[in-house]
Structure 1
């Protein structure tokens, strides 16, 4: 039995942040890296650099200037799959099966705009519909799966810096939390983040660029997640949120998550 180390990170442009992505790979040496918001077409993705670092198995779903996800692995990836949960062709999902039999899914849920009302903000409706399509998929899922990525929802009261202040702010509204709860229940997904860092312990993964000093007001949210099928939950032996990465040079507004599975 060996530990399989998987990292997930909304990098907010893989080319703009390539320096800190390299730093993460040098310091943490994950077996697999899942990226969201790569903002690069497949032909523009820095594939050769990752191959030089040992990540020779790659599954990309890119889009110019927007969205984009990637799985970069030292281990073989099989049965590549893509779901258009946005139902508009946006590059927001890629998945593959690992040799150990676990299916790895990498997803970037839409942010949903600024107004939590689908009648006046179509982006909010698209976000809810995206999560609903994921829920329908989860209901039929029959293989052991780990799904990671930027879900753009902070579900628990302790997953945001102020529950009261953010109740009407997209990412923490009751309607989004309810939608994510239904998604979780559809497959009995285990939230690895809270399984290893039980509520109400600090567990933020995102801080806005708008603050000149994110550490001073510390207005974080837990938008990034790692969920696994019930049969995979017992394999998760470690989970970390790499909060110090928010202080790296030219950082993403998100920080990486790492899970280790005993497989």
Structure 2
């Protein structure tokens, strides 16, 4: 089966349903994985999404903060939700695809502004989240796709200025090491860099603070799609939809669209 799976930190689904409408108009999406939906499940705009062709919903919502969702045009089997922080934050949801492959949608904590767990508990929370994910990943015994907003840009070419961002949360060496440990724990294949190898630059996020994001182009690759090594060859494409950063009332992230033959 050929599947087109999109991942997008939408930064509030209720504020930006028009972005989903434009995405679907431009691309034939079978499954849409959203992060930072910022609404409880009973407030999710189902009717608007159903009008776009999505009939099946797997939601892990949270009012005003966090929240992940998987919308699909085909039936999917709910699998489980993990709370890697044991604090009730809605940051993970998983479903089983018709092929049996499990699809994980994850929203990793941003980690605050100071890259020091002693001075910034949010940074420690992020590292602990990744450590628990790594323990889970190392014991994973089923073919899987994991995607979402990982809030880490691992390669020097994943940020606009490697040296300038070494002390900035999302690109610090300790975060890069944590993400590398996670990837290596299951030998995940980073599809972003499979289709766009380094040293080519690749970004998925641009700050709202820039008056002209295109002119400054101070981007970071915070969003990822990884596949288990046994199914990585079924991925036929991964598109980073950079123009979406200029759509009306945009998210600061752009969508990724991965194509699989599963």
**TM (normalized to structure 1)?**
0.98
Cα distance in 1, alignment partners of residues 238 and 201 from structure 2: 14
The answer to whether the 8 A contact 2:189-2:227 is kept is yes
Q: Answer yes or no: is the 8 Å Cα contact 1:102–1:145 preserved in 2.
A: yes
Aligned to 2:124: 125
Superposed CA offset, 1:102-156 (max 9, x none): 1000000000000000001000000000001110110111111000100000000
Partner of residue 57, structure 2: 58
Unpaired segments ≥5 residues, structure 1: none
Task: Give secondary structure in 1 for the equivalent of 2:145.
Answer: strand
Structure 2, unaligned stretches of length 5 or more? none
Q: Which residue of 1 aligns with 2:152?
A: 153
Provide the aligned C-alpha RMSD in A. 0.8
CA distance in 2, matches of 1:144, 1:226: 14
Residue 195 of structure 2 corresponds to residue 192 of structure 1? no
Query: Which residue of structure 1 aligns with residue 171 of structure 2?
Result: 172
CA distance in 1, matches of 2:132, 2:165: 25
For the residues of structure 1 that align with 2:246 and 2:175, how far apart are their CA atoms? 29
Written as runs of structure 1 = structure 2, the 5 A alignment for 1:124-143 is 124-143=123-142
Structure 2 equivalent of residue 28 of structure 1:
27
Q: With structure 2 as the length reference, what TM-score do the two structures score?
A: 0.99
For residues 131 and 243 of structure 1, the distance between their equivalents in structure 2, rounded to whole angstroms, comes to 27
In the alignment, the residues of structure 1 paired with residue 89 and residue 4 of structure 2 have an alpha-carbon distance, to the nearest angstrom, of: 28
Aligned to 1:203: 202
List aligned pairs for 1:8-47, cutoff 5 A.
8-47=7-46
